[in-house]
Structure 1
């Protein structure tokens, strides 16, 4: 283990709270949420060595000074890659930004062709701007504090919008095995953890009528069968 590598990593304040046992590996700070598992699944898929650190919401870790020094937006996931561009450590937050970085670094799961890459970016933004926020709001109003609201109009608004987004995704998958076509990609890794959460964790399958979207269900099942996905969904461990 290089003393220089340890010193470079220790420059990041977050390592005081979550010390690295393997400073030569990419450091992941996360929790098994839809956004969190995007990155752990990606790391498992590309075979990048990493060390996972659990950021516990129950103890408010995400608002600790150490975590905020890495991500001032206090959201998981975040990473430090000690082997970043030009052999310099790179700190990065925002799940899709991390996915794009890892795809480019590894040369995997992102199209090389400029036209296809632009299409991938389009669908990644669809997830970031639509699926993530809307599905998350359905979860809030059905499973968390919002379930106690007597006025169900906000909940129903997000259910309606989630159904619309599922319809867009379902139509895309009519003639495609995966969102970009025949090849599994970073776009699927960004999207399907949210679909899984909508049905299994938020328990809104009946509310959104998930059985109305057979192609989404087919692709979700194929996604969940992948060994790297199965491993990534459990990281960081309890």
Structure 2
């Protein structure tokens, strides 16, 4: 009797990341970079002597910083961990190491050690919150009006005001847009993922923090060069 050959085992596929970024931050970063590069390159081409060196130092300083605070921030979430790419740091938190995700004047994640990390890619918009609150209130008012109209229709044979049908309920709610601010909805999604995954074995591990030397290095070099030029001239 022959025994079946063991089938090769394949590792479980790693879940894809959900990526959260700030569209307005990206747009603002592109515009700022365009202005900085335009002015800097113009000074390099048309300037003379010290002006060219100052323009070069300013470009080395500003381009990494503008990119870091506008284009770089992102949040990556999958079934194992939350990875936060902030301007100057990259933080990886397994779901099992997260105590809570909080929203106030900023969105932040709190590790079980008590350390707080801000989510730069998910900024809080008080204006969007107020707009969403108004939409929610309007939706509640329309639901209440529809319920009253339905009760009135049942009590009056399906019509009101002499059979003209003014008491009939609306066919649907007319709520223009979501009743939840976009960044608040992102935080709700992350909380739900945390709740479902924090006890899983694959979502355990250590919190790691890495400094973004690729951003800090050029920025520091540009700042030092700019300071030297200002001192010697």
TM > 0.5 between the two?
no
Instruction: Select the structure that is richer in helix.
Output: 1
Larger radius of gyration: 2
- TM (norm. structure 2) is 0.23
- TM (norm. structure 1) is 0.23
